[in-house]
Structure 1
C-alpha cells in the first residue's frame, strides 16, 4: 500500500487531472525500472505472523533496519510505519507484510542488486530477533484473526469498507503478497499501447508467478489464490478494464474511470478523514460531505489513484500488478519480463500483435484460468504454456536489443534474469505445482512445511 502523497496545490481546473498523468511522460533515455515486492514475516518459534510490537515484531524489524543500515523513519503520529533511503522506501501492508518499493533504476542488474541488498539487510535483522520471511502469494495457514492490526488510519478505514463491498477484500489486505514492476511511458500513444499489452498479458504473469495454492491450511483449488481474491474484492476498482481497448483511450479516459471509483479517504494534517464511498467528482465541486466547501489538491488526486486496483494501472508511470509474491530469484524475473516486453519497440509491437485479436471475454477468461490452473490453463485454442513461451521469447529478444550490460561488462545484457521462468515453462510446472506435489507427497498434508522449504 502507498504512503501519503505530497506536493501539488488546489485543483482549479479539471484538466489538471489528466495533465497530472501526462506529466509522467519521459523520453526513452529517462525511462526507469522500479520493483516492489512484499513478503510475510513470521516468528520462527511458532510460525505465527509477526505482531506489530514486541522483541520479535514488525517494529523491531523496522528499528533494526533504521539503526543498522541508515534508513530514515516514517511516522504516523508516534507510530513507526515505514522507512526511506536513497529513493526507496520500506512500507507495511495491513497485515504487517514488509514491502520494499525500490528506487527508479536504469537496468535490471541494478534493481536486482537493490533487491539482494534489501533481503540481506532483512535477513540480518530477522535472524537477530528470531523472525523469518517468506514470499508467497497468500498466507498458507493463518486466519484473519491471527493477523496483526497496524496503527495506520488508511487501513482502519479500508478494513471497514472492504467488509461491505465484495467478498475477499480483507483477505487481500491482510493475507496476500505480490511483486510488481513500475515502468515509464513516452507519450499518450505509448502509454495506450503499453497499457493494452500489460492488461492483456497479466494472466501470463499470474500463471508464471503462481505461488498460492494454500489458504487456511489446505489446498484451495487455485494455483494463485491471490489472483482469485482480487476477483472478489470490489468490482468498482479492480479488473481488466475493457475500456482501455476501446477507441478514444487516453489519459482523459482513465481520469473518467478513476473519477467513478468511490473514494476511501482524504489525508489532512497527518490524519485520514473518512470519505468512504464518496465521490471525487463532488470533491472537485467543493461538495464532498467529508470536507464541505473544500476542493481537492493534486496530492488528493494522487492519493485517490493509489486506491484503484486493476490488473495494471497508471499514475505517472505504469504498474504491472498480476504476480504473486515469490522466492528471491523470481523477484528479479518479473521486472525482466516486463522490461523486455515494453521497453523495446519491436517487442512491444510483437506483443501487441499477439493479443490485439482478443476480445474482452477472452482476456477475462484467461485471467480466471490463470488463477486456477497457471501454466495448465486453456481458453479456447489458447494454451497458457504455449502463450508463456511466446511471451518469454518476445521479452528475451527485447532484452537482447536493450543490450544493458552488467557485472562490469562481463554480462552483455539482462536476458539471464528470465532463466527461472524459462525453466518453469520447459518443465510445464510452476512453484505452485511444486508445492502441491510436496503437500500431497513428502509433506503429508502439513502446509507449515512451506516455511522451512521456501523462506528467504
Structure 2
C-alpha cells in the first residue's frame, strides 16, 4: 500500500460518507474560496507557450516562486505547481498550460479579491519579460487541441486517451477551456442538501450570465458559452445536473452511491499514478482492481476519486460551483459574490429556494442544454433566462447587503450584463463583426487579464 500509508483503509460505508460530512462547520467558520484558470500565450508572433525552456511555463513558475517564496510541488522531476505556507491554496497547471490559482479560504470576498489582484500582479511582473501573457476567456479562441502542448502531469497522460473513449469534446475540456469556480461551506447535511439543490438549479442561470467563450478555431463557435457546450460532450458518467439530488431522502449517502458508480481514473502509489481508467471503485473496495490485485482503498483514494467527478456542482468537504466561463478580473470576483449572496444568508437562501422549488428536473436539464447557445436569451417558462437572472442577482445583492461588508459592489459586472441585455460573449461578437473586421486575434489584446 505504498504511497497511501498516511491514510487509513476504508472499513465501512460510514467512511465514505465521513469523507464529505466532516466538512460541516458552524456558520462562523464558513469561508470563501475562489479558483480560476487563465490561458497562456505569446505575442508577436501569436502562439501557445510550452512548458520547457528559459521562457516557458516552468520558468514562469520559477519566477513566481522567487517572487512569492512559495514552494514547488512535483510530478516526478517536474515542478507542476506552487503551494504557500499558509492556508490551503496555490498555483497549478491544467493540461494545456492553463495557469490556475486555487485561492485560500477567505472570510470575505474582499479578501479573495485582494488575493486575486496580488496574484495577477505576480503573473504580469514575471510573465511580461518572458513574453507570457494571460487570457480571460472560457475557451482558447484560436488553437486546436493538437496545437497545445500537454503539461508534464502524469494524470493527464491517463485522462487524455480515456476522454476520447467517453465523449467527443473531453480533450477540448482539458486543453482549451478555462473556468472560474467558487467553493463554499455548509453547516450540516440538511444545509448541504438545500444549498446543493439551489445551486444546481441556478447553475445554468449563472452559466448564462458569465457566458464568455464565443470563439473556437479562429471563428465564432455558434455558442455564447462554448466551454459549457464542451462539458455536455465530455463524459456523461461524471458530469451533469445530478437529478437524483432532488429526490426525497437525498444526502451524503446518496452522493456516495453515485460516486461509487463513476468510473475511476487513477490511484496514486509511491507518488506515481497507476492507470485504472474505467475501473470500478466498488471492485476496489473488494480488493478486485486488476492493476492492484488484493489491495483495498484508503480514505485518501476515495477523496482522490471524488475529485474526479465533474458535475455542475461538486460535493467534497465543501460545495464547488463549477458553471462559469473565465473572464476579466471583475467577473472572477463576481462569481463568489453571487454565490455567497445566495447561499450564505438565510433569507437569501430561502428566497432562492422559493424561486426554484417548483422547477422540474426536466426543465433544469433543458436549461442546462440550451444556455450554451443563447445564454441569457434562452426561453424559460414564457419568458427568458435574463428575467430569472435579474431576480437571482437581486436576491444575491440583498443577501450580501445583510452581511454588512460592502461585498455587493462585486456584482457590478452582472448588473452591466443585465442592463445591456448582452453577455460578455455577445460584446466580443459585436467587436468581431464590427471594429475587428472578422479578426479573432484582436481578442488576445482586449481580453488580456
Given the two structures, how large is their TM-score scaled by the length of structure 2? Answer: 0.97
Hey, what's the Cα distance between the residues in 2 that align with 1:294 and 1:35?
Answer: 36
Tell me which residue corresponds to 1:28.
Answer: 27
Shift of 1:7: 5.3
Range 48-57 or range 190-199, more displaced: 48-57
- The C-alpha deviation readout for 1:33-92, integer Å capped at 9, x for no partner, is 000000001112222111011232111110100112211111111101000113211001
Contact residue 226 and residue 372 of structure 2 kept, 8 A: yes
Assess if the C-alpha contact under 8 Å between 1:81 and 1:92 holds in 2.
yes
Tell me if structure 2 keeps the 8 A contact 1:162–1:233: yes
Assess if the C-alpha contact under 8 Å between 1:83 and 1:91 holds in 2: yes
CA distance in 2, matches of 1:55, 1:373: 43
Structure 2 gap segments, 5+ residues each: none
**Post-superposition CA distance 1:135-175 (Å, at most 9, x none):** 11001010111101111110000001001111110000000
Residue number in structure 2 paired with 1:342: 343
CA distance in 1 between counterparts of 2:4 and 2:235 reads 23
RMSD, aligned CA? 1.2
Pairing 1:119-130 to 2, within 5 Å after superposition: 119-130=120-131
1:385 corresponding residue in structure 2 = 386
Deviation at 1:5, TM superposition (A): 9.9
> Which has the higher mean CA deviation after the structures are superposed, 49-58 or 165-174?
49-58
Deviations 1:392-419 (A, max 9, x none): 0000000011112xxxxxxxx2110001
1:99 CA displacement: 0.2
CA contact (8 A) 1:6 1:299 kept: no
Which residue of structure 2 lines up, in the alignment, with residue 83 of structure 1?
82
CA distance in 2, matches of 1:188, 1:123: 42
Is residue 7–residue 298 contact of structure 1 (8 Å, CA) maintained in 2? no
1:106-136 per-residue CA deviation (whole Å, 9 max, x = no partner) reads: 0000000000000010010111111110111
Q: Distance in 2 between matches of 1:327 and 1:288?
A: 44
Provide the aligned length of Structure 1 versus Structure 2.
445
CA deviations over 1:192-240 (Å, ceiling 9, x no partner):
0000011000111111111100000011110000000000011100000
- C-alpha separation between the residues in 2 aligned to 1:337 and 1:125? 31
Partner residue in 2 for 1:16: 15
Separation (CA, whole Å) in 2 of partners of 1:204 and 1:236? 23
1:447 to 428, 440, 443: 440
SS of the residue corresponding to residue 179 of structure 1 reads: strand
Q: 1:40 to 1:208 in 2, by over 3 A?
A: same
Q: Distance in 1 between matches of 2:51 and 2:227?
A: 23
Counterparts of residues 36-51 of structure 1 (less than 5 Å)? 36-51=35-50
CA distance in 1, matches of 2:7, 2:325: 34
SS at match of 2:440: coil
Shift of 1:436: 0.6
CA distance in 2, matches of 1:136, 1:204: 18
Say which SS state the counterpart of residue 48 (structure 1) adopts.
coil
Alignment of 1:272-283 (within 5 A): 272-283=273-284
Q: Secondary structure at the match of 1:63?
A: helix
Give, in angstroms, the shift of residue 191 of structure 1.
0.3
For 1:309 and 1:80, how far apart are their aligned partners in 2?
25
Q: Does 1:52 align with 2:69?
A: no
Q: Distance in 1 between matches of 2:207 and 2:185?
A: 21
- The alignment partner of 1:54 has SS state of coil
Q: Does structure 2 retain, via aligned residues, the 8 Å contact 1:369–1:379?
A: no
**How many angstroms apart in 2 are the aligned matches of 1:63 and 1:272?**
24
Show the counterpart of 1:64: 63
1:325-404 equivalences in 2 (<5 Å): 325-404=326-405
Task: Tell me the SS of whatever aligns to 1:415.
Answer: helix
Deviates more, 1:4-13 or 1:374-383: 4-13
Equivalent pair of 1:5/1:303 in contact (CA under 8 Å): no
In 2 relative to 1, CA 389–7 (structure 1 residues): closer, same or farther, beyond 3 Å? farther
Question: Is the alpha carbon distance of 1:117 and 1:46 closer, same or farther for their aligned partners in structure 2, counting shifts above 3 Å?
Answer: same
Shift of 1:18: 0.5
Instruction: Give ranges in structure 1 of 5+ residues lacking alignment.
Output: 405-412
TM-score by length of 1: 0.96
CA–CA distance in structure 2, aligned partners of residues 389 and 28 of structure 1? 27
* Equivalent in the alignment of 2:407: 414
Match of 1:432 in 2: 425
Provide, for residues 268-307 of structure 1, a one-character-per-residue CA deviation record: whole Å limited to 9, x for no partner. Answer: 1111001011000111111111211111111101110111
